[in-house]
């Protein structure tokens, strides 16, 4: 009973926050609602017994991707009012895409049922003697090693793109010259003064 209540509460909050991500006018608020969605999805993973996926969702997506989105949005200073112009012209195409996605979901739901209407029995995800984290690690680093490395490469490209987008070259900014610092000589930096007693440097 308690698990069912937790499931419905987390699901309702996740759906509401996911809708707020696309409905919020402020992009910073959208990212904050996205973080709330991730937290509720992590709670649903915990209810399913996938505690490793829940931890991964919080650490990777909330701790890295969503924060990266937040910083990029704040640093780019994008005029979102201009981007929202002409939004209604894309509604027909968006409606067609939504219908296609609904058809795919219906196809998957119908394929998951057997001929007599009973759900297809699913095999256990992992043997009982292996922990959840160990089972996922075995699959990731054996069967899907190449895909896992490609996903890391995509994240690396996204990080470099965010840095390039936020890098601004402004004139008159003093920059560090490593070669000049390393090649600096004592004669260029030190000047000896013979000060007589009672006199200053002036």
pLDDT at position 24 is: 80
Judged by DSSP in three states, 121 sits in coil
Predicted confidence (pLDDT) per residue in 160-169, tens digit: 887 887 777 7
Among the listed residues 40, 46, 43, the one whose alpha carbon sits nearest the alpha carbon of residue 13:
40
User: Residue 131 above 70 pLDDT?
Assistant: yes
Q: Are 73 and 31 in contact (CB under 8 A)?
A: yes
Q: With 50 as the cut, is the pLDDT of residue 115 above it?
A: no
Whether the model clears a pTM of 0.85, i.e. scores above it, the answer is no
Confidence band, pLDDT 50/70/90 cuts, at residue 8: confident
How many whole angstroms separate alpha carbon 190 and alpha carbon 65?
A: 49
pLDDT at 111 over 60: no
CATH of domain 1-79: 1.20.120.1200
Q: Is the CB of residue 47 less than 8 Å from the CB of residue 7?
A: yes
Going by pLDDT thresholds of 50, 70 and 90, the confidence category of residue 112 is low
The domain spans of the chain are 1-79, 130-166
Q: What pLDDT was estimated at residue 150?
A: 92
Reported as a pLDDT band with limits 50, 70 and 90, residue 117 is: low
Q: How confident is the model at residue 63 (pLDDT cuts 50, 70, 90)?
A: confident
């Amino acid at each position: 009973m308690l698990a069912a209540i937790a499931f419905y509460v987390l699901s309702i909050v996740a759906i509401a926050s996911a809708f707020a991500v696309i409905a919020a006018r402020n992009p910073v608020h959208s990212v904050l609602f996205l973080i709330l969605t991730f937290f509720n999805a992590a709670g649903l993973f915990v209810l399913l017994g996938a505690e490793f996926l829940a931890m991964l969702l919080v650490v990777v997506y909330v701790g890295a991707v969503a924060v990266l989105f937040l910083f990029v949005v704040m640093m780019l200073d994008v005029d979102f009012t201009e981007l929202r112009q002409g939004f209604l012209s894309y509604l027909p195409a968006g409606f067609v895409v939504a219908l296609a996605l609904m058809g795919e979901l219906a196809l998957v739901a119908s394929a998951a049922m057997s001929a007599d209407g009973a759900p297809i029995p699913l095999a256990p995800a992992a043997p009982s003697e292996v922990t959840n984290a160990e089972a996922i690690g075995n699959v990731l680093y054996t069967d899907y090693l190449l895909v896992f490395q490609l996903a890391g490469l995509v994240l690396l490209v996204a990080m470099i793109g965010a840095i390039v987008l936020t890098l601004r070259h402004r004139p008159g900014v003093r920059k560090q010259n490593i070669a000049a610092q390393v090649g600096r000589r004592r004669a260029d930096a030190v000047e000896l003064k013979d000060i007589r007693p009672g006199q200053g440097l002036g």
